[in-house]
Amino acid sequence: MRVIITPTETEASTLAARHIIDHATPGMKLGVATGSTPLGLYANLRTAHETGAFSLADSTAWALDEYVGIDENHPERYRNVLRDQLVGDDKTGLTDDNLHTPNPYGDDLDAAAAEYEAALSEGVDIQILGLGSDGHIGFNEPAGSLASPTHVETLTHETREANSRFFDNDIDKVPTHCITQGLATIMRASDIVLLAFGRGKARAVAQLIEGPVSAMWPATILQHHPSVMIIVDEEAASELTMIDYYRSREHV
Ligand code: GLP
């Protein structure tokens, strides 16, 4: 697990984008996260596309999760968020057909989850991750299975409260359920880049890197993954015990 601490999220986003641009291969499968954390990274990818240094034109992108019960045209529907960030020649070259998101609109949500899981049986090439303040990745909430496939998840009160800022600050408008890639699905990615910013993520970051692997902090499963890069700002790094060691490792 590489741990990189940057002064602010601007440097972190640039570094993460650099990693993706450098490792992009034609036809790659890119795992994409939502939330506010990867927005700077996506802006960097759009800039690189503008200059001809990066393109997702032949690639596919795979969302981690999608809300259940959200209007198809709602701006916070994750498919719409990702369209806004990545789809089109004016963005990264990704086509709408090549953007994959779980389908929460059918009668059988379990079947939709199973279908998404099957499509990801070989895992993505590079997975971008954010981190919930309760340690969730995707929408895998605490006390779930560390080996879960794509599944229907009930959101915790903490997550709905955190995400209410996208829903007029009204928790009642935040969906209660979602379809999310499971931890086993995420673990099939060949390479993972996780970003976390701000004081509110510090406890989850400390658990993720230094805590015991536990279903109570779902992101800790990443300690078992052979290729993870964690990029955090100073505030998110503030509860790390071995912070000086991580800095020295990155200055070889
Ligand atoms: C959301 C998403 C996650 C995201 C996390 C953090 O609910 N499902 O993929 O990483 O919570 O969100 P943010 O980046 O806005 O802090």
Question: What integer pLDDT is reported at residue 251 of this predicted model?
Answer: 79
Q: Distance, CA 226 to ligand 1 centroid (Å)?
A: 23
- Which two tokens mark 219? 């992101």
Q: Contact, 149 vs 185, CB < 8 A?
A: yes
Instruction: Establish whether 65 is a catalytic residue.
Output: yes
Which one of the listed residues 136, 153, 191, 233 is annotated catalytic?
136
The closest of 243, 151, 153, 248 to 206, measured between CA atoms, is: 243
Q: Which residues contact 212 (CB under 8 A, 6 or more apart)?
A: 220
200-218 tens-digit pLDDT:
999 999 999 999 999 999 9
- Residue 35 in contact with ligand 1 by CB distance below 6 A: yes
- Residue 132 in contact with ligand 1 by CB distance below 6 A: yes
Q: Which residues contact 12 (CB under 8 A, 6 or more apart)?
A: 4, 6, 40, 195, 197, 231, 232, 233
Residue by residue, pLDDT tens for the chain (252 residues) are: 999 999 999 999 999 999 999 999 999 999 999 999 999 999 999 999 999 999 999 999 999 999 999 999 999 999 999 999 999 999 999 999 999 999 999 999 999 999 999 999 999 999 999 999 999 999 999 999 999 999 999 999 999 999 999 999 999 999 999 999 999 999 999 999 999 999 999 999 999 999 999 999 999 999 999 999 999 999 999 999 999 999 999 976
Specify the ligand 1 atom closest to the Cα of 198: 16
Nearest CA to ligand 1 atom 12: 35
* 213 CB-contact burial (10 Å; exposed 0-12 / middle 13-18 / buried 19+): middle
| pTM, entire model | 0.97
Question: What integer pLDDT is reported at residue 252 of this predicted model?
Answer: 63
By most ligand atoms within 8 Å of CB, the mutation choice from 129, 139, 150, 231 for ligand 1 is 139
161-181 tens-digit pLDDT:
999 999 999 999 999 999 999
